[in-house]
Amino acid sequence: MFEHFKSVLKNFSGYDDEQMELICSLAENKIFKKNDYLLTPGKICRHMYFVNSGCLRFFGVNEEGVENTRYLGFRSKFASNLTSFIQFIPSEEYIQSVVETEVIVIGRTDFYRVEKNTLLGKSIYKNILERAYITTQKRIYSFQGEMAEERLTGLILKEPEILSSIPHKIIASYLGITPYTFSRLVKNKFS
């Protein structure tokens, strides 16, 4: 259940057994089936997730009905709609399980109480924000400076199993290209 979660927490600065147990007592293990919605637009994101297995997908839908995948959270990743979670405002995006996905969940109120009252909590929150920032920075670099092919190469490097583990149209959407272009890209360069 919590083993993997705990083993990740042990690497945080300010780690402390007692504080970890407190966090785990507030957290919950949950399994989502493929395509379950964890969050929908208009709702405030009141949960922090930690992915044990599977994959969570964050996406928005624009006026034309096009889905834009913002983030893919695989094993060991923390995942939450931080904009909504932090500012306590309605989310503009969906969180959905791409495949059957096992997560550790902690509610927003509990999360911030732990953040306020424990060093480990502060450390976790700081780490989540830092990583979120660095991840999105890298993502901007790739959009700004790379062609679609390079972005895909980089993604495969980070998630070697991605081509066989999640639908291609989701990868395409994450890369900011159409499924048509994606299909051609894979055909020409990755098969």
Partner DNA sequence: TCATTGACTTGCTATAGGGCAAGTTTTTAT
Partner DNA sequence: ATAAAAACTTGCCCTATAGCAAGTCAATGA
Query: Which residues of this protein are in contact with a second copy, per CB under 8 A?
Result: 60, 62, 66, 68, 70, 82-83, 86-87, 122, 125-126, 129-130, 132-134, 136-137, 139-141, 143-145, 176
Q: Pick one of 30, 70, 126, 169: the residue that binds DNA (CB under 7 A).
A: 169
Complete edge-to-edge strand list for the sheet that includes strand 37-39: 37-39, 94-97, 56-61, 67-73
State phi, psi for 171 to the nearest 5 degrees: -65, -45
Q: Cβ 162 to a second copy, closest distance in Å?
A: 18
Q: Return d(Cα 80, Cα 19) in angstroms, integer.
A: 21
Contact 27, 106 (CB under 8 A): yes
Contact status: 187 vs DNA (CB under 7 A): yes
Sequence-ordered list of residues with C-beta below 8 angstroms from that of 132, at least 6 positions apart, any chain: 82
Q: Return d(Cα 82, Cα 88) in angstroms, integer.
A: 9
CB-wise, 28 or 102, nearer to DNA? 102
Contact status: 155 vs DNA (CB under 7 A): no
CB-wise, 103 or 166, nearer to DNA? 166
Number of residues that bind DNA (CB under 7 A): 20
Q: Cβ 65 to DNA, closest distance in Å?
A: 11
Residues at the contact surface with DNA, assessed by CB under 7 A: 34, 147-149, 167-170, 176-187
